[in-house]
Amino acid sequence: MAENGARRIRLGMVGGGTGAFIGYVHRIAARIDGDYELVAGALSSRPDVARESGKNIGLAEDRVYTSYEEMAKAEAARPDGIEAVSIVTPNHMHFGPAKAFLEAGIHVICDKPVTSTLEDARKLAEIKPKNGAKFLLTHNYTGYPLVRQARELVASGALGKLRVVQVEYPQDWLTEPAGEDNKQAAWRTDPARSGAGGCIGDIGTHAYNLARFVTGLETEAVSADLTAFVEGRRLDDNVNIMLRFAGGAKGMLWASQVAVGNENGLQLRVYGDKGGLEWRQDNPNYMWFTEFGKPKQLLTRGGSISVPPAASMNVRIPSGHPEGYLEAFATLYSQFAAVIRGEGADYESLLPGMEDGVEGMQFIAASIRSSQNDSKWTRLDEV
């Protein structure tokens, strides 16, 4: 945290004007640990909205921009220019800003998925960032303390050789057709703005990334059955996928935006030949861990004698005092701040980055191709 005397990172934001959801989340995440100061923004391409939004969050007038190109140029030129930028636009608007800021030597914090097409993702990955500018992809669920604990338990061998991975992410908010007036729904169900995947890109990638982050298993191939249940919807709203991992482990991934009664039910279950673990995002301060033949244990953020807290956790308050989604998000921000300051070497391998972004797009592309080919097993490296 920035409570160690470290200076605050000067931050800008692209997207996230008044009324936007994820931009607001990023701003809170940037504030929680006090590592950033938001000083500039291209919050909207509409000048009036940009101005009003900038005023609302306290930006100086001369640092409110209406184009990210202009912002990248101007900020890079200022002696007190931003050191990092958060990109919180719809998916198809990630590539441009990410490229511009990286090439301007400004660190990038980008919402997921990294781009709207695999091709863009690969292009972005080939850019040589100026001055070693870093890239953070906000797969925020990896910031939960118990998710970190899960990863360390797997790595420690406590589960033995992994066999079975079950991951799911059901929601219900797109159960009915959504009009253009529902801003969040509108762009997510529009191929032009969201990319080729609907549910798979919006939340399927979160589920996939979570499974990969915790297990470390390399994915070999997917067999997918994607469906758009709501009449007239052009992108999938339900995703059934079987997974094969290197080394023989098998998995299933279910993501849905039409599963009535589920708000945000991300859940991961992993089983090896010695143990198993189970974690749910909607009550994220707890995780089940079972050693074969022994009773199930309920791990909490505080750890215990037999299972110490993961070294990588960013625990702010004692267990029993629940932390949530915003704190997990903030952990990515504050650990990335440490990386920017050159103090975060331990975090670099933990924080999701460009490589995860490209793999996420491969996962989407392979799943869509498999689904179009009657669920034929499709390798991630062949798309």
| 293-312 binders of a second copy (CB under 8 A) | 293-300, 302, 304-307
- Judged by CB under 8 A, the stretch of 25-33, 71-79, 194-202, 347-355 that binds a second copy is 25-33
DSSP 54-97: HHHTT--GGGB-S-HHHHHHHHHHSTT--SEEEE-S-GGGTHHH
**The one among 60, 70, 292, 346 contacting a second copy by CB under 8 A:** 292
Sites for a second copy among residues 265-284 (CB under 8 A) = 265, 269, 271-278, 281-284
User: What token pair was written down for 236?
Assistant: 């999938």
- Judged by CB under 8 A, the stretch of 69-77, 109-117, 257-265, 338-346 that binds a second copy is 257-265
**The one among 56, 60, 155, 382 contacting a second copy by CB under 8 A:** 56
Radius of gyration of the chain (CA): 20
**The one among 116, 219, 262, 267 contacting a second copy by CB under 8 A:** 262
Kindly tell me which of 67 and 290 has the beta carbon lying closer to a second copy.
290
How many residues of this chain interact with a second copy, rule: CB under 8 A? Answer: 100
The length of the chain, given as a count of residues: 383
Cβ-proximal residues to 197 (8 Å cutoff; 6+ apart), any chain: 204, 226, 235, 236, 364, 367, 368
Name the amino acid, one letter, at 288. Answer: W
CA distance 242 to 145: 28
258 touching a second copy, by CB under 8 A: yes
**The one among 45, 67, 182, 319 contacting a second copy by CB under 8 A:** 319
CA distance 11 to 16: 13
290 touching a second copy, by CB under 8 A: yes
The SS3 call for residue 256 is strand
**The one among 78, 123, 324, 343 contacting a second copy by CB under 8 A:** 324
Q: Closest distance between a second copy and the C-beta of residue 103, in Å?
A: 30
**The one among 183, 191, 321, 348 contacting a second copy by CB under 8 A:** 321
The SS3 call for residue 106 is coil
Sites for a second copy among residues 163-182 (CB under 8 A) = 163-164, 166, 168, 171-173, 175-176
The SS3 call for residue 10 is strand
User: Contact 315/145 with Cβ under 8 angstroms?
Assistant: yes
Q: Closest distance between a second copy and the C-beta of residue 176, in Å?
A: 7
Q: Residue 202's closest CA among 219, 177, 226, 179?
A: 226
Kindly tell me which of 45 and 290 has the beta carbon lying closer to a second copy.
290
CA distance 241 to 266: 15
The SS3 call for residue 251 is strand
246 touching a second copy, by CB under 8 A: no
113 touching a second copy, by CB under 8 A: no
CA distance 67 to 41: 9
229 touching a second copy, by CB under 8 A: yes
Q: How many angstroms separate the first and last alpha carbons of the chain?
A: 40
User: What token pair was written down for 45?
Assistant: 């391409």
Kindly tell me which of 194 and 370 has the beta carbon lying closer to a second copy.
370
- Judged by CB under 8 A, the stretch of 82-90, 242-250, 336-344, 350-358 that binds a second copy is 242-250
